[in-house]
Amino acid sequence: YSTFPHSPTWKKEDVTYRILNYTPDMLQADVEEAIARAFQLWSSVTPLRFTRVYSGQADIMISFAAGFHGDFYSFDGPGGTLAHAYPPGNGIGGDAHFDEDENWTKFTTYSGYNLFLVAAHELGHSLGLSHSNVFGALMYPIYMATDTRDYQLHQDDIDGIQALYGPPKESPALPTKAFPPQEPTEMIPAEAPTEMSPREEPTEITPSKPPQRPDDCDPHLTFDAITTLRGETLFFKDSYVWRKSPYFSEIEHDTIFSFWPSLIAGFDAAYEVDNKDRVLFFKDDQYWAVSGYSIQSGFPKPIQNLGFPTSVRKIDAAVHDQNTKRTYFFVGKQYWSFNENTQSMERGYPRKIAADFRGIGHPVDAALQKNGYFYFFHGSNQYEVDIKKKKLIRIMKSNSWFNC
C-alpha cells in the first residue's frame, strides 16, 4: 500500500459525506446503497464513523460529472479513467468524482463498472490511501471485475488504512444519518456488527486458480476454439491460449487474461474477419469483437443478432472463409453460413455438416482455415479438408501445429 505525500488523514473519527448528484444509469437508492456499503467497508476496519448529510458542506462530497468538471483533472470519456478522489483536507480534499461517461452498475457485469467497487477504491483515497501495487488489493489502480456479494478488503488495504487510523474500537461503525432525511431512504439492513474476530492468518489473495496448465504435446490435447489473428494462429483451451506466429519458431503459451483481462475464459468459438482486423469470440449465447487487445464497445451481444434462432443457445465452432467471405458456424451436426458482406445468415441453412464437408460426420470443437485448407478439430484429432474438391485430405493430432 502507499499513502499520499505527508500522509494526510482526517483528524477526527466522525467524517461526513454528501451525495451531490446521481448517475442516470442506476436507481438513486442503488447509488446510495453502493456508497454506504463502500463506507461500511472502511469503517469496519478503522475507528472511523461516516455520517451522511443532505445539505451544506461535508468532508467528502461525492458527485458524477463528465469531461471537464471544475478541477484540473478532466475525465476522458468512456473507459480509461473511471473516477478520482482527493486525499483528506479542506475544500476539495476528500471529494470523490465519478466519470458520468461510464456506465455505472449495481452488479458486476460486462457492460459497465460496479459503482460499489469503484467507490470503495476512491473512498480509500478520500481517507488518505494512495495506490497499492498488490494485485487483488482494492487500492490497485486498475479496475478488476470482481464479485462483490461478499467483498472483503485485501490484507494490504487493511494494513494501509490501519497504519493511518488504527484498528476499530469495539464494533464496526455503520454509516448513520445526521438529519431526518428529506427523502425517506431505507437504512441499509446490515448484519448486526459482529465482534471483530481476530483475522485468521491472512492468506495471499490470488485470482481463482486457473485449471492446470495443459501440456503442449499431450497427445490427448483438445481445444475449445481456434482463430487466426493478424497472421498468427491462436489456440484456446480453458483459460489458456497458445500463440503460433510465423515470425517466431517457438509456441508462446499464455493466459487469456494476459491479452483480454475482462473477457471470461472458456470460449466456445472464435474467428477472424481479416479484412476488418476483427476477431469475434463466442461464449454461450453471447459474443465479443476485439481488434488486437481492444474489446470493441457495445459488446457482448446476443448471438441471435447474427440470425440464430432462439433455440440455439451456444455454438461449437466458427471459421471464416476468406475466399467466399462466408463464415461457417457449427452447432451439433449442422452448420450455418453467414454472409459477412451483407451481415446476414444465408438462406437454406442449417445444413448437415457431413453433406458439405466430406468426412466430418461429428460435431466440431474448433475450426480453422489455413494455407487454403480447412481444419476441423474434434477431440484430440483434426481433419484437413479441401472444400473445393470436397475431399478429406488427412487426419492428424490436434496439436500437430506445436512441432511436437
Partner 1 sequence: FPVAPEKEKEDMQFAKKYLENFYDFKEEKTLFKAKDLNQMSDKIREMQSFFGLEVTGELNHKTLDMMKQPRCGIPDIRS
Among 151, 165, 259, 299, which residue sits at the site for partner 1 (rule: CB under 8 A)? 259
Q: Are 297 and 312 in contact (CB under 8 A)?
A: no
Can you state the angle between helices 115-127 and 155-165, rounded to 10 degrees?
30
Residue span binding partner 1 (CB under 8 A) among the ranges 78-86, 201-209, 219-227, 318-326 = 78-86
Residue span binding partner 1 (CB under 8 A) among the ranges 214-222, 224-232, 267-275, 319-327 = 224-232
Q: Are 394 and 403 in contact (CB under 8 A)?
A: no
Residue span binding partner 1 (CB under 8 A) among the ranges 23-31, 73-81, 330-338, 373-381 = 73-81
122 is catalytic: yes
The nearest distance, CB 107 to partner 1, in angstroms, is 17
Contacts of residue 346, defined as CB under 8 A and 6 or more positions apart, other chains included, come to 326, 336, 337, 338, 339
The nearest distance, CB 293 to partner 1, in angstroms, is 5
Give the DSSP per-residue string, 306-350.
GT--TT----SEEEEETTTTEEEEEETTEEEEEETTTTEEPTT--
- What gap in Å lies between CA 333 and CA 351, rounded to an integer? 9
The nearest distance, CB 95 to partner 1, in angstroms, is 12
Residue span binding partner 1 (CB under 8 A) among the ranges 79-87, 160-168, 185-193, 396-404 = 79-87
**364 forms part of the interface with partner 1 (CB under 8 A):** no
Instruction: State which residue, 199 or 230, has the beta carbon closest to partner 1.
Output: 230
Among 8, 79, 93, 136, which residue sits at the site for partner 1 (rule: CB under 8 A)? 79
Instruction: State which residue, 128 or 350, has the beta carbon closest to partner 1.
Output: 128
Among 83, 123, 318, 364, which residue sits at the site for partner 1 (rule: CB under 8 A)? 83
Tally of CB atoms within 10 A around 277: 12
The nearest distance, CB 354 to partner 1, in angstroms, is 35
Site string for partner 1, 276-315 (x = CB under 8 A): -x--------------xxx---------------------
Residue span binding partner 1 (CB under 8 A) among the ranges 119-127, 166-174, 315-323, 331-339 = 119-127
Tally of CB atoms within 10 A around 391: 12
The nearest distance, CB 148 to partner 1, in angstroms, is 16
Query: Cell numbers at residue 365, please?
Result: 470443437
Among 220, 230, 390, 391, which residue sits at the site for partner 1 (rule: CB under 8 A)? 230
- What gap in Å lies between CA 16 and CA 168, rounded to an integer? 18
The nearest distance, CB 106 to partner 1, in angstroms, is 18
Query: Cell numbers at residue 108, please?
Result: 458486476
Cell 480453422 belongs to which residue? 368
Among 11, 55, 91, 142, which residue sits at the site for partner 1 (rule: CB under 8 A)? 142
Query: Cell numbers at residue 307, please?
Result: 440470425
**85 forms part of the interface with partner 1 (CB under 8 A):** yes
Among 27, 57, 77, 80, which residue sits at the site for partner 1 (rule: CB under 8 A)? 80
Q: Which residues pair with 19 in a beta bridge?
A: 62
Q: Exposed e or buried b for every residue in 43-72, given b needs 16+ CB within 10 A? A: bbbbbbbbbbbeeeebbbbbbbbeeeeeee
Contacts of residue 106, defined as CB under 8 A and 6 or more positions apart, other chains included, come to 26, 27, 30, 33, 34, 114, 115, 116
**25 forms part of the interface with partner 1 (CB under 8 A):** no
Q: Which residues are catalytically annotated? A: 122
Site residues for partner 1 per CB under 8 A: 4-5, 73, 75, 79-85, 102, 113, 118, 121-122, 125, 130-131, 133, 135, 141-143, 229-232, 247, 258-259, 261, 277, 292-294
